Amino acid sequence: MKYFLAFLSFTSLAMAEKPDGVQLFTTNCSACHLPDQMVVGPSLAEIRTLYLGKPDDFVKWCVAPQKKRPNAVDMPSMVHLGDEALRLIYEYIMKVSVGVKQVEQKKGDPYAASPVQAKRPQVQRIFMPNAGPAAIAVALDDKVSLCWDAGECRFRYAWSGGFIDGYPYWQANGSSLAKIVGEVKYTEKASPFKEMGEVKFSGYRMEKGLPVFQYQLGDKKITETPAALADGGGLSRSFTISPVPSDGLELNFQADEKVTYSSDKGTWSGSKLTLKAADAAVFTVNFTFK
């Protein structure tokens, strides 16, 4: 888990504004920790027993997790979240685990029956195949999901079918790489934006259950908000850019015969979108799966 230190460079990954314990926990911990049963990591009931009244020790563990349980995979360091966020998570865990009894691990997919996760989390920071260590997996709805790379500040790929299968996969191979459920429909090999300078992730915020990724590209502030198209038919990505480049904008998406491109603004030539300056401030691109 050495390369988790790379996260130090984007400490604000978890929502710059008003971080809250539930959301921080859901994004960063819930893939491995359930309230009442050991899954990848120990239950919240057990964590309560170990750490009630010991927030400092809790933070210490999260910053530098140890190898403690012989049959468990390694817990990735959460150092990038910072002290304050970890304390909010601590408070949330202590609150939500009041009176929760540890039970034997249930058969089947334990997440399906979890009271807090009747619906799978929509945003998970997790190790994903074919992405950097700073990958974020997003379930846009129950059909379309995507992987966004917060290290390189770019979309990686979208798939349809299901979300991710962290748990059974980790159990089977002892690694903390998640497995995609479904079929990858669209992949981008590079950012669609031309070189505009240094790229820097500035976190994401949640709007209507979906993440708004925010990053800096040279002197431009960019936001990217993904959403699912109807019936698993594909996805859209809405962009905002400020300040708007005075001579307009060109975006080069990967030519991919598995999607059809369209947008609310601009003109297309193959997989290349050209926008006039007046259209470049806010625009949406649709990727329809074939």
Footprint of ligand HEC on this chain (CB under 6 A)? Answer: 28-29, 31-33, 40-42, 47, 50-51, 58, 61-62, 67-69, 72-73, 75-76, 78, 89, 176
Report the C-alpha dihedral over residues 101, 114, 136, 134, rounded to 10 degrees: 20
Nearer to ligand HEC, 135 or 241 (CB): 135
Minimum CB–partner distance for residue 93 and ligand HEC (Å): 7
Minimum CB–partner distance for residue 33 and ligand HEC (Å): 6
Distance of CA 55 to the CA centre of its chain: 26
Place of tokens 């690694």: 175
Nearer to ligand HEC, 70 or 108 (CB): 70
Residue type, 53: G
Place of tokens 């002290």: 83
Nearer to ligand HEC, 76 or 211 (CB): 76
Nearer to ligand HEC, 75 or 241 (CB): 75
How many C-beta atoms lie closer than 10 Å to residue 150's C-beta?
Answer: 22
Minimum CB–partner distance for residue 256 and ligand HEC (Å): 31
Cα four-point dihedral sign 192, 193, 194, 197: negative
Minimum CB–partner distance for residue 68 and ligand HEC (Å): 3
Cα four-point dihedral sign 227, 211, 131, 177: negative
Structural Rg of the chain based on CA atoms: 20
**Does 35 sit behind a cis peptide bond, omega within 30 degrees of 0 on the bond before it?**
no
Tokens of 33: 């920790």
Integer Cα distance of 217 and 221 in angstroms:
6
Minimum CB–partner distance for residue 48 and ligand HEC (Å): 9
Nearer to ligand HEC, 30 or 263 (CB): 30
Minimum CB–partner distance for residue 61 and ligand HEC (Å): 5
Nearer to ligand HEC, 65 or 245 (CB): 65
Q: Widest CA span of the chain, in angstroms?
A: 62
